[in-house]
Amino acid sequence: MRIAPLFLNSSRRLLFLSRMASNKVLTTENINPQVITMQYAVRGPIVIRAVEIEKELAKGANKPFKNVIKANIGDAHAMGQKPITFIRQVLACVSNPSLMETGKFPSDVIEHSKTLLGGCGGHSAGAYSQSTGIDVIRKHISEYISKRDGFPCDMENVILSGGASESIRNVLKLFIRRDGSKKVGVMIPIPQYPLYSASTEEFGLGQVGYYLHEEKNWSLEENELERAYQESLKKFDTRVLCVINPGNPTGQVLSRQNIETIIKFAHKHHLFLMADEVYQDNIYAEGSKFHSFKKVINEMGDPYNKMELASFHSVSKGYMGECGMRGGYVEFFNLDPQVYVLFKKMISAKLCSTILGQVVMDCVVNPPKPGEPSYDLWLKEKTAVLDSLKQRATLVKEAYGSIEGIRCNEVQGAMYAFPQIELPQKAIDKARSLGQEPDFFYAMQLLESTGVCIVPGSGFGQKQGTYHFRTTILPQPELMKDMLTRFKSFHTKFLQEYK
Amino acid sequence: MRIAPLFLNSSRRLLFLSRMASNKVLTTENINPQVITMQYAVRGPIVIRAVEIEKELAKGANKPFKNVIKANIGDAHAMGQKPITFIRQVLACVSNPSLMETGKFPSDVIEHSKTLLGGCGGHSAGAYSQSTGIDVIRKHISEYISKRDGFPCDMENVILSGGASESIRNVLKLFIRRDGSKKVGVMIPIPQYPLYSASTEEFGLGQVGYYLHEEKNWSLEENELERAYQESLKKFDTRVLCVINPGNPTGQVLSRQNIETIIKFAHKHHLFLMADEVYQDNIYAEGSKFHSFKKVINEMGDPYNKMELASFHSVSKGYMGECGMRGGYVEFFNLDPQVYVLFKKMISAKLCSTILGQVVMDCVVNPPKPGEPSYDLWLKEKTAVLDSLKQRATLVKEAYGSIEGIRCNEVQGAMYAFPQIELPQKAIDKARSLGQEPDFFYAMQLLESTGVCIVPGSGFGQKQGTYHFRTTILPQPELMKDMLTRFKSFHTKFLQEYK
């Protein structure tokens, strides 16, 4: 124990003493306050408890269930989805190029791998790439976007990153201010994917929530955008509009008309558009179709095709579900060229995103073509995953929709349902008495009694007085049925207990 | 072109008009100002120009050299170093588990891969891990640290990340304040690795440079630490001390005595220690030895073994040089438990680091053991790389040391030399007339005339009036000789021109 030196002046002596009290340099008293306030529910306390329960089960703990079913996160492989063979063959060849000589891999896998290694420093995936990513992959991404949209994409506007999350966070960072002036407001949907709330909070940006219209299948309406924008101006300099399409956690697919409305709104208020389009391959509902913001902006012509847009894609979702690979990209459109130079400088301090993640991104945007040896298997595997997801999307909606006190919109796309639950007042009171959000209380009870792990709606945002949860549609069919059975039985008991 | 609505009040109308002038939502006028001021020289303008020159050469441009030699960045594979077979075999098996059935891989590779896949969700590297990383890898890291130091390491204190850079940035983030109070000062060496200057600038932290003593082979002296600390208090609340050992860009290896001095200094001023130890395997000089801060702190006993420490390691350096894989970790020691909970919450919004990068980290801390089938080859490859680096460390020091007007300290460790160059006054004047730092001017001339890409000392910091550059020791021996020949001939001409 050290003694506070007497020669220090009183304020420094006080500081010294207070530091001694905690005995730590870094404490919750002096930590970056945003780290305290930010929340990321998808990996929040319920999920931490789920991991603990798994460890307890592994040690032989006696529970009313044998396993935890993690429906909390869009993690397809963890829920039993098998990798796409083509992707994993390319990964193996790029990681260990001597495999290309074994005669065991299809010629298009080898050709693909050689092209990618040709883009790597020293022909090794162990070399850094440029911070923007490997050029040949940027080129393939730009070709994919051009073909998808029917409008040209310049590869110079594409930057690879470790998942889409990293790009989204990098773009948001551009709007940080530390000079005490009004915070830049960022419009995000409510309910939203908590990456947005966590990052805006961490970066000291202003979170401007606009509510999606639950009764109209989570559509996005102009008058609500307008209300949120106008109210935000009292506190913030609102300059960014984030849209997630297909929706997370809400599973809606925006119509072309809806996207036009959003674009016109953003134009009217001179907003920077961020389009989170990581679920662009996950469209299930009859009549639903994915329209990229880039395409619609271009189709709308002048002046909309001059608007600034950042759009994001990822290897973690779609039919491949390669979350652990950390591949993704941002495409900028109409970004101020000087801003772009600064952006590239900013990301250079992080060196580059993982080369193997970039490789997976390449496989996604540049898959086998008809006539190539890997094509048939690739198409079969892709179709099987998407068909199965489509079935599970229907199953989830029907199953939850049939339970008393639960309403569930159609899962038009993405990987989630966000059902609304009517909680009995007694349950709400009980939760409040424990200092918990009612849907958090519900989700924790569900986990402890059945092993089913979902995320309470309060982690995504919801209209006051309503309660929801997010569940993925990812458990494989058998497990999904098991989950729904456990859920139904819990819910019935819960309603009885708190009636 | 839109017309500024007349109904807006004058200040909003002005804003509207100024926005219209640039026509962009996001401009250099309103971008996050830290993005403008931060610099990252290792990928700065000289390197950008080097990439351009490579593209010009590929298109057949006529230059006085045939290729660019990139000695700007510690990127071993890009400079021709071959990957370690064991690592790449494990990567291939983890990526494509069906390869384990082919009978083509050694049994320890298969066993290693199976253990790792057992730690992955759904036994797939495509699943997310916990944000802290895969548990079995954290366990192997903790065993590695315990064995290295002779003091226990709890796996719960280890967190994997995308390279060491990500962990370093995450720890620095804990010290951000946005409430207008004094910035937290972070002590960093001068010269330093620009990750530190770039990140402290980006995060709005206070950069407190302490000079390394060039004449004493870049050692770190207490009186200089004290001077820097005391001066910093006028502006900052200085609470963090970063040490890079072995040194980047300076290549020194701190003696045990020197580390003790640093620890006592940090204790005296209640500083949080950050030890960047990514070059721990890169020790070349006779008599030099790597001492981890964790070990020395523990050996020093009470009260030093109560100090907070974060230490960092990476797969990018050492003998493996797997930069593109983005694997690394931080070990916390004595961190306040509540702070640790907040740290884990903060990183959860980034989901997890790449699984394959984590896999490479595992191979580094848990390599083949004597008697296992991969051991002999692994040891041979590892030894060959480290021996060759040791030779090149000597070669570089001797070669630069023999050139008029250049002084080069011994490269005791890491991968860099940081020679001092005496620039003629005429060259300095010429540079200033172009608005350039003199060593930047020198490095750019070197690049344009010879294709040799180095980083000017001004990107790392140096004593006023001195000029340096950082070069890696990574070009393979033949290329290294070529580089040194080009350099010598350029330097001689340069001195003549500006004499």
Ranges of beta strands (E only) in B291-386 are 309-314, 328-333
Q: Which member of A77, A120, A166 has the closest CB to residue B127? A: A77
Those of residues 243-262 in A touching chain B at CB distance below 8 A are none
Domains contained in chain A, CATH given: 33-78+382-498 (3.90.1150.10), 114-365 (3.40.640.10)
Q: Which of A80, A84, A43 is nearest to A475 (CA)?
A: A80
Question: What is the rounded distance in angstroms from the CA atom of residue B474 to the CA atom of residue B479?
Answer: 9
Between vectors from CA B283 to CA B280 and to CA B286, what angle results, nearest 5°? 150
SS (H, E, C) B399-465: HHHCCCCEECCCCCECCEECCEECCCHHHHHHHHHCCCCHHHHHHHHHHHHHCEECEEHHHCCCCCC
Element (H, E) at A467: strand A467-472
**Is B27 at the interface with chain A, CB within 8 A?**
yes
At B25 the pLDDT is 87
Length of chain B: 499
At A459 the pLDDT is 86
Which residues lie across from A178 on neighbouring strands?
Answer: none
Q: Which member of A31, A36, A122 has the closest CB to residue B79? A: A122
Q: What is the DSSP string of B236-268?
A: -EEEEEEEESS-TTT-----HHHHHHHHHHHHH
Question: What is the rounded distance in angstroms from the CA atom of residue B249 to the CA atom of residue A237?
Answer: 42
**Is A45 at the interface with chain B, CB within 8 A?**
no
In B, minimum Cα distance to A175 occurs at B32
At A5 the pLDDT is 44
Q: Which residue has the tokens 């593209």?
A: B55
Report residues of chain B scoring pLDDT below 50.
1-11, 13-15, 17-19
Length of chain A: 499
Residue B425 distance to chain A (closest CA, Å): 31
Q: A299, exposed or middle or buried, with CB in 10 Å at 0-12, 13-18, 19+?
A: middle
At B42 the pLDDT is 67
Question: What is the rounded distance in angstroms from the CA atom of residue A451 to the CA atom of residue A66?
Answer: 8
How many interchain CB pairs under 8 A, A with B? 312
At B307 the pLDDT is 96
Q: Which of A403, A462, A475 is nearest to A41 (CA)?
A: A462
For each successive 10 residues of chain A (499 residues), what is the average pLDDT? 42 48 81 82 82 92 93 91 97 97 95 97 95 96 98 97 95 89 94 90 93 92 96 96 95 94 96 97 95 98 96 97 97 95 88 95 98 98 96 90 90 94 94 94 95 92 92 90 93 92
DSSP letter, residue A475: S
Residue B55 distance to chain A (closest CA, Å): 11
Residues in A closer than 8 angstroms to B176, CB to CB, are 32, 34
Question: What is the rounded distance in angstroms from the CA atom of residue A228 to the CA atom of residue A226?
Answer: 5
Per residue in B223-251, is it b (16+ CB within 10 Å) or e — as a string?
A: ebbeebbeebeeebbbbbbbbbbbbbbbb
What value of ipTM does the predicted structure carry? 0.91
At B212 the pLDDT is 94
What is the distance in angstroms between the CA of the first residue and the CA of the last residue of chain A? 57
Residue A86 distance to chain B (closest CA, Å): 10
**Is B332 at the interface with chain A, CB within 8 A?**
no
Element (H, E) at A211: strand A206-211
At A10 the pLDDT is 47
Between vectors from CA B276 to CA B271 and to CA B278, what angle results, nearest 5°? 165
CB atoms within 10 A of CB A59: 7
Q: Which of A413, A411, A387 is nearest to A399 (CA)?
A: A411
Residue A422 distance to chain B (closest CA, Å): 29
Question: What is the rounded distance in angstroms from the CA atom of residue B193 to the CA atom of residue B163?
Answer: 15
| The one-letter amino acid at B134 | I
